[in-house]
Structure 1
Amino acid sequence: MDQSLNVFVTVAEKKNFSRAAEDLHMTQPAVSQYIRSLEETMDVRLLERTNKYVRLTKAGEIVYHHAKEIVGLYGRMHHLVNDLSHEASGKLSIGASYTFGEYVLPHMLARLLVDYPRIQPEVTIGNTAEIADLIISRQLDVGIVEGRFKENQTLATQAFAEDRMILVASSDHPLALKTEMIEWRELEDLTWIIREEGSGTREAVEAVFERFSINPARTMQFSSTQPIKEAVEAGLGVSLLSEWAVQKEIRYGDLVQLSVEGLPFVRQFSIVTSSPYQTKALQVFLELLLTNYELTLFREK
């Protein structure tokens, strides 16, 4: 691989020649020479640089996008060849949507590293749409998502586990004391705390709204699950969340599950990959994901 691409990506991400040189274990003049060589090859200026900043030009943004993918592909090619004669090891780039990434994945990685301590997981957490885009651009080896995303021929998906979505409220909410089944019309006048567009949890909430023909009087949006739980606990409203995400809060009485006809709402967690070639590190991780017994253990803790 052309080393100048790797140097360019590092400078673009560090936004500083000195920090890039330190990260690459090079001298600053050597880094500058690689950048000049790449700009001469491309016949265009890729970086705007002054004493105060280094930033990408429009052409630089295009080169960075593709160089990032090339560097990633080269690294994966190297790992695949190395895997032919070695045990599972090396970098494993995992993307996960918030629910799985925050509440299930850490436990799975802990189990993985007991058996394969030489694997080096790198985790990116984002909503379903973001993770799918990173898989398409080959910046991640595998993604675990719970929502639908735009169709793409390069992606392979496999459902592997169910997630149960339940309606939760604060422990002192009026509906928390209700013993009989709650009707949907009682929920329409409440404030619903929901996730942002593009998240699998938001998709599930909208599916529930459509299924039971309700139009909430008010919604409040947050970009991750933790502040939603805090908002519900503070009495700001109710929320439809993964059973995994609220286990501790329900156990300690901070939140309560409301009994509503038609719930829990069940959705699928899916594995998303883009390359037919898999490193040993990815293979053993996928084997762990596909062991539903392990997922059941996490829910019961």
Structure 2
Amino acid sequence: MDQQLAVFVKVAEKQNFSRAAEELHMTQPAVSQYIQALERTMGTTLLERSNKYVRLNKAGEIVYHHAKEILGLYTRMNDLIDDLTNNASGPLSIGASYTFGEYVLPHLIAKMQKKYPLVSPKITIGNTKEIAELILAKQLDVGIVEGHYDNKRLLIEPFANDSMCVVASPQNRLAQTDGVVPIAELEKETWIVRENGSGTREAVDKMFKQYRIAPKKCLEFGSTQLIKEAVEAGLGISLLSDWAIHKELSLGTLHIIKAKDLVIKREFSTVLSSPFQTKALKVFLEIIRENQN
């Protein structure tokens, strides 16, 4: 059954029997036989076929969704059994929100590779909501998310605090003032914020509410790097993690705006779907915790 599901998933993703057969190193008739066998087992057709395409029908969409989860669990089970007798090795799928994934995770991966070269990490970057959903779907071994996230189906463990700063272009009017600026001055600026579902956006919304800031205008951008470029260009101001702005501060392309009584901190947390861990996952979690001590 697992082979049938693997073949079905590949055909669904490639939308073509020939391309699926090529990637699976099988003949096209063999792929067709696996699909037909699975459809007999399910008692219904799963694919709409024509000379130009192969598409999932409604039943196929249901089977595809669950097949991905089943195959993920099957792979994880094999990895756990292999780990009983072997050193830390094999694949490790890591998901991280943008700030941690782009500015901290690469350094941790380098440390892990130096100490455990047989571990093969695969990195997925997304916002907090996207990473949590992939963990729930068993598509990732571990996730690292920003801010407050709560889900009773997940194992969530805070491991680090992150300070956040209001940043502007050095040419911004607020950057020209000496010392601390009144919070009221911040709402006169255009704010550049992340999309809903992002941990950084959560921190911004929480700050607006806590300090009663009502910006005259907000622009929504989909990545931290894009926001930094926009702020540097003088398009507006933003709230960003200390981790994300080290390079720009050293180069003098961003300036921290100190606002009176404004202190913003948030947590970073690891997210797991199961208490059972491969050795590869265990050593990665150890490296994360060591790095924060």
Alignment of 1:66-81 (within 5 A): 66-81=66-81
Separation in 2 of the partners of 1:115 and 1:49?
Answer: 49
Matched-pair contact (CA < 8 Å) for 1:128–1:148: no
Equivalent-residue separation in structure 2 for 1:202 and 1:116 (angstroms): 35
Residues 37-68 of structure 1 deviation map (CA, whole Å, 9 limit, x = unaligned): 11111121211222222221111111001000
Give the Å deviation of 1:124.
Answer: 1.1
1:157 maps to a residue whose letter is I
Q: 1:262 Cα deviation (Å)? A: 3.1
Other-structure match for 1:199: 198
User: Hey, what does 2:226 align to over in structure 1?
Assistant: 227
**Size of the alignment, in residue pairs?**
293
Match of 1:144 in 2: 144
Q: Distance in 2 between matches of 1:12 and 1:117?
A: 34
- In the TM superposition, residue 264 of structure 1 has moved relative to its aligned partner by 4.1
Deviations 1:133-189 (A, max 9, x none): 11112111111001233x432211111011111010011111112112011111111
Please, what TM-score do these two structures have when normalized by structure 1? 0.94
The root-mean-square deviation of aligned C-alpha atoms, in Å, is 1.2
Secondary structure of 1:55's counterpart equals strand
1:38-187 equivalences in 2 (<5 Å)? 38-149=38-149, 151-187=150-186
Equivalent position amino acid for 1:10 in 2 = K
- Contact 1:93-1:142 within 8 A present in 2 as well: yes
Corresponding residue for 1:272? Answer: 271
- Partners of 1:211 and 1:89 lie apart in 2 by 46
| Structure 2: stretches of 5+ with no match in the other structure | none
Q: In 2, Cα distance between the equivalents of 1:186 and 1:257?
A: 14
- Mapped partners of 2:15, 2:118: distance in 1: 31
CA distance in 2, matches of 1:206, 1:153: 24
Paired with 2:118 and 2:71, the residues of 1 have a C-alpha distance of: 22
Matched, 1:284 2:283: yes
Alignment partner, residue 22 of structure 2? 22
Residue number in structure 1 paired with 2:207: 208
Are the counterparts in 1 of residues 148 and 267 from structure 2 also a CA contact under 8 Å? no
Identity %: 61
Say if 2:185 is the partner of 1:190: no
C-alpha deviation, 1:2, in angstroms = 2.5
Distance 1:267 1:177 in 2: 28
Specify every segment of 5 or more residues in structure 1 that has no aligned partner in the other structure, as ranges: 297-301
Whether the 8 Å CA contact 1:142–1:273 is kept in 2: the answer is: yes
Q: Letter of the 2:14 partner, please give it.
A: K
Partner in structure 2 of residue 258 of structure 1: 257
Partner of 1:299: none
Q: Give the structure-2-normalised TM-score.
A: 0.97
Of residues 247-256 and 70-79 in structure 1, the stretch that sits farther from structure 2 once superposed is 247-256
Partner of 2:123: helix, strand, or coil?
A: strand
**1:194 touches 1:228 (CA, 8 Å); kept in 2?**
yes
- Give structure 1 regions of 4+ aligned residues with deviation exceeding 4 angstroms: none
Q: Secondary structure at the match of 1:187?
A: helix
Give secondary structure in 1 for the equivalent of 2:45: coil
Q: Distance in 1 between matches of 2:147 and 2:46?
A: 37
Distance in 1 of aligned mates of 2:213 and 2:275: 43
- 1: CA distance, partners of 2:151 / 2:173: 46
Instruction: Give the AA of the match of 2:159.
Output: F
The whole-number CA distance in structure 1 between the counterparts of 2:194 and 2:216 is 16
- How has the CA–CA distance of structure 1 residues 22 and 264 changed in structure 2, closer, same or farther, with 3 Å as cutoff? farther
Q: Secondary structure at the match of 1:86?
A: coil
Stretch of structure 1 that moved more, 256-265 or 26-35: 256-265
**Residues 71-80 or 45-54, more deviating:** 45-54
Please give the alpha-carbon distance, in whole angstroms, between the structure 2 residues aligned to 1:177 and 1:216: 20
